[in-house]
Structures are given as structure tokens and as C-alpha cells.
């Protein structure tokens, strides 16, 4: 079927054969997703936000911390990709990252990634005239404590210039396991 294209000009004029072409190509498209997400992660190297290390190095360090803590695959995956939203959004990077990762992680993991920005603020908001306890608005959420723990153990500690992070290639099998094992990606 490679090379065969449908001929419809609107979805309402498509046929069962057109959708059979689409469906048969789905596994090949899905196999490309880990590489696409990894390419997005690599783009974080281009961001200079003044932190001790760039967001790509921060992501590798966070994932290495989670891996060395014997965290499960999902937690390591979240640590690796939690900041990919920075590539397209300064103000809403957590929500962007959570939307991208949602097909591959649990509801709990999605909630943590989506809210990690405000929870991370506990460590620095007081330096920029914001409420460091803003996360307390979510105190009644069942994921509140898990997000505090995740930010403390993997995100806020991942800015060392001398930390021996694992390279991205080390995480590639894990990325494929997480992304290709489930979800609707």
C-alpha cells in the first residue's frame, strides 16, 4: 500500500477503501512517534533561560534521578518529557507537556505533569513576588502529595552542572516501551 493515496477532497466523500488505507498505515505512523517526541525534546537544547543547565540537560538529569531512584517507567518518562512544552509555550509549558503526554501516561501522571509548574513554584515563587504556596489550591486533589514528592525528588533537584546524567540513547528503549505499549498515540 505504500505510495497509494486516497482521492477524496472532503471527509464526507471518502470511502471505506480510503479508510482502509489509513488504517493499514497506522502501525507505521505509530512507530514514528517515539522519534518525533525525542526530536521535540532535543529542541530544548536551544532554549537559554539563564538556568545553570539548558532544559534538555535538565530533562535528562530529572529522568536519571528518577531512574536511579528505581522509579517505574512512567515516572522516568514523565521526568524526561515534563518540560517539552517549553519549546512552544513560556507561560503554559506544564499544560502543553501534559497534553502531549496524555495518551501515554496515567491520569495521575497527567495531573502531575499538568500541575508541576505551579508546584515547582514552591521553591522559587517567593523570589519573584508570587505566592510560593499557590499549590495549596490543589490540596484536596488526590494527586497533591504525589506531585509534591515528584517535584521535590526529580524536578527541583535537576539543575546540577556536574551531575552524570544518562544520555538520551539510554532512555530510548524506555520511551518506546511507554509510547508503543498503550495509549491511543
**The domain that contains 145 carries what CATH number?**
1.10.3210.10
Q: Does 67 fall in a domain?
A: yes
Can you tell me whether residue 183 is helix, strand or coil?
coil
User: 105-155 pLDDT, tens per residue?
Assistant: 999 999 999 999 999 999 999 999 999 999 999 999 999 999 999 999 999
Query: Structurally, how many domains does the chain consist of?
Result: 1
Residue 169 inside a domain? The answer is yes
23 falls within a domain: no
**Who's near 160: CB < 8 A, 6+ residues apart?**
52, 53, 61
Query: Which range of residues forms the domain containing residue 71?
Result: 38-181
Q: Cell 523570589 maps to which residue?
A: 127
| Residue that has been written with the C-alpha cell 522519534 in this structure | 35
- 40: burial class by Cβ within 10 Å (0-12, 13-18, 19+)? middle
C-alpha cell at 110: 497527567
Residue 116 within a domain: yes
Is the pLDDT assigned to residue 22 strictly greater than 80?
yes
Q: What is the pLDDT of residues 69-102, one digit of tens each?
A: 999 999 999 999 999 999 999 889 999 999 999 9
| Least trusted range by pLDDT, from 3-12, 28-37, 89-98, 161-170 | 3-12
pTM, 2 dp: 0.92
At 100, list the grid cell: 502531549
CA distances from 177 to 25, 86, 122 (A): 20, 24, 33
Amino acid at each position: 500500500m505504500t505510495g497509494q493515496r486516497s482521492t477524496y477532497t472532503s471527509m464526507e466523500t471518502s470511502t471505506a477503501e480510503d479508510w482502509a488505507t489509513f488504517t493499514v498505515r497506522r502501525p507505521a505512523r505509530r512507530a514514528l512517534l517515539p522519534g518525533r517526541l525525542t526530536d521535540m525534546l532535543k529542541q530544548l537544547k536551544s532554549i537559554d533561560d539563564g538556568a545553570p543547565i539548558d532544559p534538555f540537560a535538565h530533562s535528562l538529569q530529572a529522568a536519571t534521578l528518577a531512574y536511579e531512584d528505581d522509579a517505574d517507567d512512567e515516572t522516568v518518562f514523565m521526568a524526561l518529557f515534563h518540560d517539552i512544552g517549553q519549546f512552544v509555550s513560556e507561560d503554559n509549558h506544564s499544560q502543553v507537556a501534559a497534553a502531549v503526554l496524555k495518551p501515554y501516561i496515567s491520569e495521575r501522571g497527567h495531573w502531575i505533569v499538568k500541575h508541576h509548574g505551579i508546584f515547582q513554584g514552591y521553591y522559587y515563587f517567593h523570589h519573584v513576588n508570587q505566592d510560593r504556596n499557590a499549590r495549596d489550591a490543589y490540596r484536596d486533589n488526590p494527586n497533591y502529595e504525589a506531585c509534591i514528592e515528584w517535584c521535590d525528588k526529580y524536578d527541583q533537584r535537576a539543575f546540577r552542572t556536574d551531575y552524570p546524567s544518562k544520555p538520551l540513547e539510554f532512555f530510548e528503549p524506555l520511551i518506546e516501551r511507554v509510547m508503543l505499549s498503550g495509549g491511543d498515540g
